Amino acid sequence: MKIKAIQYVLFWLFVTQTALAQPTNINLSTTTLVASEPFLAINPTNTLNIVVSWMVLDASTVYKMAIKTKVSFDGGTSWANQSIQPHFSSTWNSADVSMQFTNDGMLHLTYVDFRQSPDSGGVYYTHSTNGGISWIPPVQVWNGNTEDAAKKPFDRPWIVADNSGSVNNKVLYLTTKPAPWITSPSNRPYLKFSADSGQTWSTYRYIDTTNYLVGSYTSPMASPAVGPTGTFFAAYPSYNTSQSPFLKFFLAKSNNRGGTFTFNDIIVSPTIAAQPNYKKAWHLAANPANSNQLAFAYIGSAYGDPDVFITTTNNGGSTWSAPVRANDDAISNGKGQDLIWITYSNIGTLLATWRDRRNAAGTGFSQPTDIYYTTSANNGASFKTNKPLTSYTLPHDTALLLSDNAFMCSQMLNNDVYATWGDVRTGNLNIFFTKVVNDTLTFISELNHTDNLSFSFYPNPANAKVTVKSSNSVFSVSICDLLGNEIIKSENKTNLSEIDISKFPSGAYLLKIYTANRYSTQKLLIQH
């Protein structure tokens, strides 16, 4: 009996540890047909309040594509309050949902409601003041039959919000583009804004302009973002031989609600993945903890198969780094990545998530997949070891060949990663959600150099000074920027060190403590 008891305990420990090592994936949509392209938002006034929205077609939507939302008030453990956004004609379908909270806790949502034959529809807006439980009746932001009517400007709308606390605080920005069948060079990205919580919207303008035109690029989606000081950004592609012989991605930047733009090259002549069926949309993100930092991700094939490439800027978009391959599987192994999403956490950690085929036996698109993630605390100079978000490798299905399901969505809050995506483990395309706690900040390039030391520091976030306490009486402390450049160093011969940070700009930093031949790194947030 004693031996059996020990065996039982060992078995229980094994099962428990195995379960703890696997992310828990929650099926939010539970549809019997198809659900795709989810979006995720976290309430800044109550971070336990999470909302996920997606497109769905099944019996609950009377077999028309519609927009559903679900709400959690316990950080993603349980979900309820499923809502369906209304159609504006009995024969219309909905698509392309996006959401963002403003810093007052209001949740803003946009989607397309349309009929393709004959072409009708537009972009609609609604908001919720109770964390996604209920919604105001949607209003039309864009009438696709009267505004630039020949181009049907209601494809892939994105909504982003200004949460800077500046004069533009709570301004909403909406980008969109003409219908996919509108040929270049007429297919150009648009922008509108609202300064009154979506009650009224500006007239549209094109984001691209002379010398910075989209040109003949066939799908010129603009990916928008707003920085922590209220600057609006949008990234879009361009191929116009009268401007440049190369494919480019441009950054458009405005400090006056899109009244005027300045432009910079993000990347010139990228090797965009050409393999069919892969979901190769790009994504722009702005660091809420540092107004000079942005990141841009795309699916490229510089090494022969689709990989996740990320380029970043530390000077507000004027110059950008050489693209870094974020997925760490073997180079040129034929195992393609796609379905990219990037975002920054509230303390400046860069998160990338994507769909990955590294665990499949074969090569090409139609292989089993996982959802993977990685993070960077030095604005993309290096990335941590990739880790899966899916609980097991997922089967392939022809449903993944559909033109929908082109995006996943993820967010990061402090050290927690939240992600949502569509997969076919149930035999139908469903929306899944997971939350994982990211581990300590250990970079791929630092794996052989870091060692955990016994120390603490407080407060964090800090304002005037930070106090470091160590179990070792001889140590030194450095504060570095996210590129690792040392800003200040303090030598100590006691177990306490106080460092004056009152003159440092608000933002995210690295605090490094050294003793003997060892050092450890932690994230420090300065807020004034």
pLDDT at 1: 35
Write the DSSP string, 171-237: -EEEEEE--TTSPTTS---EEEEESSTTSS-PPPEES--TTS--BT-S----EEEE-TTS-EEEEEE
Identity at 400, one-letter amino acid code: L
3 state DSSP class of 401: helix
Nearest to 408 by CA among 350, 358, 338, 305: 338
Identity at 398, one-letter amino acid code: T
Identity at 313, one-letter amino acid code: T
- Long-range contacts formed by 291-294: CB under 8 A, 24+ apart: 291/227, 291/228, 291/229, 291/231, 291/316, 292/316, 293/344, 293/348, 293/379, 293/482, 294/225, 294/227, 294/233, 294/251
Q: Specify which residues 517 forms β-bridges with.
A: none
Nearest-5° Cα angle at 61, 60 to 63: 105
- What is the C-alpha R_g of the chain? 24
Percent of the chain with pLDDT over 70: 89
Phi, psi of 346 (to 5 degrees): -65, -20
pLDDT at 3: 37
Give the Cα separation of 369 and 186 in Å (integer): 37
Sequence spans of domains, the chain: 1-30+270-448, 449-526
Identity at 259, one-letter amino acid code: G
pLDDT at 493: 57
pLDDT at 438: 79
pLDDT at 506: 85
pLDDT at 442: 31
Write the DSSP string, 21-60: HSPPPEES---SSEEEEEEEEE-TT-TT-EEEEEEEESGG
Give the Cα separation of 401 and 34 in Å (integer): 12
Question: What size, in residues, is the chain?
Answer: 528
DSSP 394: B
Kindly state the tokens that stand for 187: 């297919």
pLDDT at 492: 65
Assigned architecture for domain 449-526: Sandwich (2.60)
Question: In Å, how far are 24, 71, 172, 193, 223 from 235, measured between CA atoms?
Answer: 34, 30, 17, 17, 5
- Give mean pLDDT in consecutive 10-residue pieces for the chain, a chain of 528 residues: 36 37 85 96 97 96 96 94 93 96 98 85 96 96 90 92 95 94 91 96 97 92 97 97 96 98 97 92 97 97 96 98 96 96 97 97 96 96 95 90 87 95 94 84 32 71 86 72 70 75 84 64 80
